[in-house]
Structure 1
Amino acid sequence: MKALVLGCAGPTLTDEERALFRSADPWGFILFRRNVVSPDQVRALTAALRESVGRPEAPVFVDQEGGRVQRLGAPHWPSYPPGAVYGLMENGFARLGARLIAADLRAVGITANCAPVLDVPVAGANDVIGDRAYATEPQRVAALGRAAMAGYLAGGVLPVVKHIPGHGRGNADSHRALPVVEASEAELAAHDFVPFRALADAPLAMTAHVVYAAVDPDRPATVSPIVIERIVRGHIGFGGLLLTDDLSMNALSGTIGERAVAALAAGCDIALHCNGVLPEMRELAAAAPDLAGEAAVRAARALGLLEHPPEAFDPVDERLRFEAAVAAALANQPASTNPLVSAVAPAQGDPTEGRARSDA
């Protein structure tokens, strides 16, 4: 089994993809909008992905934060608010929103969600995080993140906290360019790292493709053994499974294979590749090592959390309660002090959609 999570190009697997997955045996898979048509189709796709590797427990990931970042949407799935709206509500609604999302995902065979976002935006930062964040105060982000993590786990879905050790101060969108953060390590520890340290017991985390100049001026966190050992595993104390952010993003340099080798050598456990481009996935399959050692232990520990059935839940009544609370929070928005949510939210594109190049 390779230390990989891979995507696929469309709503069904091609024969070439099946053959690659059978031979490469990635630990898991990830879906994007290009892979989603209807509930029945997604259920068939997640089953086909698992069948290709012969492991019914193989995790299937998605980015279903809500707001701009929601792969499963209308007309078959409800819309969810961005993280900042939860910042206008009591913490229990972050748990409830996550529990509802978990029910949606489990129903179609998706068992891991790349959420909650624990990044803490600062004034002047690039808006790639923006309203995806819960708040601008680290302790508030930590509390809401903790509630959301509990909701996902109660619904039988693994949460992936991101983007460790913090993307909120980034001066660029890492999908397009490499962000560099110039803040001192003391500033980062007092602000950016706080939510991740508070949720250091999360089962999985996703790295930030960000250079923290005070820690390692030469390499983004994903490929920096200094950041991963000293900050992620050390100061933050994260002990779970560490996934890279998408290796096909423009923040990173080198070939896809070189990026994977560098990230895994730096201390990441799993290399994530999202765009579904077959030649790149073949390169990764040749370059990535088997999942072994502590990384394998962490992976097994994470999957062990899915062995218990989800808690009892009435999605119909709870969704009505959730939607009423969201509507009330937005109705009171003009008086809010949350700077991440404007009174009239502008339409924004999804900054995180991993696409096959033919779709770009």
Structure 2
Amino acid sequence: MTTRALILGCAGRTLSDEEAAFFRDAQPWGFILFKRNIGSPDEVRALTDALRATTGRADTPILIDQEGGRVQRMGPPHWPSYPAGARFGRLDGSGIAMARLGARLMAYDLASVGINVDCAPVLDVPVAGAHDIIGDRAYGTDPHAVIALGRAVAEGLMEGGVLPVIKHIPGHGRAACDSHMDLPVVEAEGVSLAAHDFVPFRALADLPMAMSAHVVYAALDPHHPATQSSVVIGQVIRGLIGFDGLLMTDDLSMKALDGTFREKAEKAFAAGIDVALHCNGDRQEMQAVLEGTPILSGEALRRAEAALARLAPQEEFDVAEARSRFEAGLSAQA
């Protein structure tokens, strides 16, 4: 069956008959879950099973944003709270080990309910005066610290059978507004961007998947956000950064992008995006995005298959001991 270059959200904790029929016809490459979709562990597992039943593909990617801190879709009472990325950056000497262990525990939580992709680590490097939309989601303000902690998180996730998605390529750390609400324009020179913002992405360019930034980099392409810029995607993301993994958009329903939903998708694909992401589960919007989305083929298909080929079973793991060690490590430097 033909697969579309698309990742979609769903409305609630269960699929309606109408949603299931839509997904069977649309055949998206994957799905993404949010808090509105999260009930008990049994409910989440039933939902991920139902989503995969609509595609008929057992390895259908099911994504979630589970960073810790402010961005954590699964939490109490069924799952632990995890700290924001900045907390690991403040740990004296143990930050890298603790970030990896925390990611390994998160992967256990996710894989146990059928989620196999986590939209983490955040590799953005905030600068003074930037909007707080990244803020403590970042591991720090030093690109090299971000590299070490981001690598640890990615490796912890993959050890637990979950693929990481680096975000927001090529860097959201200078944005002066929230791209959920408006289009950020970054005025920094290309040399400064290359020496600072792009550095973590270049160092982790071997990872399987990345999410684009809805940000205009005026020095590179003053007319288009990265998600819809052939210059940024071709010359920077694929060129200077050297990322050859699967490149997905950030959410197309964010207000940073203008035009109809079909136009948003068409512009992204024309610029070189591999897969479009639409998150809110609105059927009319999804239909419009679908109309602007091609079949997954060519280089995009190659990258998608290469990403899924890196999924591996969870390694042996004493969950209780690891949680105890993780909590003790955090408490020791509270």
Aligned counterpart for 1:21 among listed residues 13, 20, 23:
23
Aligned residue in 2 for 1:265: 270
Q: Mean alpha-carbon deviation: is it higher for 127-136 or for 278-287? A: 278-287
Q: 2:290 matched to 1:288?
A: no
Q: 2:187 matched to 1:211?
A: no
**Which whole-Å CA distance do the structure 2 matches of 1:166 and 1:329 have between them?**
30
The one-letter amino acid of 2:23's match is F
Aligned counterpart for 2:136 among listed residues 115, 131, 137:
131
Pairwise CA RMSD: 0.7
Aligned residue in 1 for 2:87: 85
**Which whole-Å CA distance do the structure 1 matches of 2:112 and 2:221 have between them?**
42
Aligned residue in 2 for 1:148: 153
Aligned residue in 1 for 2:45: 43
Q: 2:167 matched to 1:165?
A: no
**Which whole-Å CA distance do the structure 2 matches of 1:163 and 1:285 have between them?**
23
Aligned counterpart for 1:9 among listed residues 11, 17, 23:
11
Aligned residue in 2 for 1:183: 188
Aligned counterpart for 1:274 among listed residues 276, 279, 295:
279
Deviations 1:275-322 (CA, angstroms, capped at 9, x unpaired): 10011111122221000001101101111111x321111111011111
The question of whether the paired residues in 2 share the 8 Å contact of 1:85 and 1:329 is answered with no
Q: Secondary structure at the match of 1:245?
A: strand
Deviations 1:157-185 (CA, angstroms, capped at 9, x unpaired): 00000000000100100000000100000
The question of whether the paired residues in 2 share the 8 Å contact of 1:182 and 1:212 is answered with yes
Aligned counterpart for 2:323 among listed residues 315, 319, 322:
319
The question of whether the paired residues in 2 share the 8 Å contact of 1:163 and 1:207 is answered with yes
Aligned counterpart for 2:61 among listed residues 44, 59, 71:
59
The question of whether the paired residues in 2 share the 8 Å contact of 1:133 and 1:141 is answered with yes
**Which whole-Å CA distance do the structure 1 matches of 2:157 and 2:269 have between them?**
27
**Which whole-Å CA distance do the structure 1 matches of 2:31 and 2:179 have between them?**
22
Aligned residue in 2 for 1:71: 73
* Structure 1: stretches of 5+ with no match in the other structure: 331-360
**Which whole-Å CA distance do the structure 1 matches of 2:40 and 2:263 have between them?**
36
Q: Note the C-alpha offset of 1:328.
A: 2.1
The question of whether the paired residues in 2 share the 8 Å contact of 1:225 and 1:267 is answered with yes
Q: Secondary structure at the match of 2:104?
A: helix
Q: Secondary structure at the match of 1:21?
A: helix
* Structure 2: stretches of 5+ with no match in the other structure: none
Aligned residue in 1 for 2:107: 102
Q: Note the C-alpha offset of 1:326.
A: 1.3
Q: Note the C-alpha offset of 1:15.
A: 1.2
Aligned residue in 1 for 2:127: 122
**Which whole-Å CA distance do the structure 2 matches of 1:266 and 1:286 have between them?**
17
Moved over 3 A (4+): none
The question of whether the paired residues in 2 share the 8 Å contact of 1:120 and 1:136 is answered with yes
The question of whether the paired residues in 2 share the 8 Å contact of 1:118 and 1:133 is answered with yes
Deviations 1:87-124 (CA, angstroms, capped at 9, x unpaired): 02321111111100000000000000000000000000
The one-letter amino acid of 1:12's match is T
The one-letter amino acid of 1:318's match is A
> TM-score, normalised on structure 2?
0.98
**Which whole-Å CA distance do the structure 2 matches of 1:118 and 1:208 have between them?**
11
Deviations 1:126-158 (CA, angstroms, capped at 9, x unpaired): 000000000000000011001111101110000
**Which whole-Å CA distance do the structure 1 matches of 2:156 and 2:101 have between them?**
6
- Between the two proteins, the alignment pairs up a number of residues equal to 329
The question of whether the paired residues in 2 share the 8 Å contact of 1:112 and 1:160 is answered with yes
Q: 2:236 matched to 1:231?
A: yes
Q: Note the C-alpha offset of 1:329.
A: 2.5
The question of whether the paired residues in 2 share the 8 Å contact of 1:11 and 1:45 is answered with yes
Q: Secondary structure at the match of 2:251?
A: coil
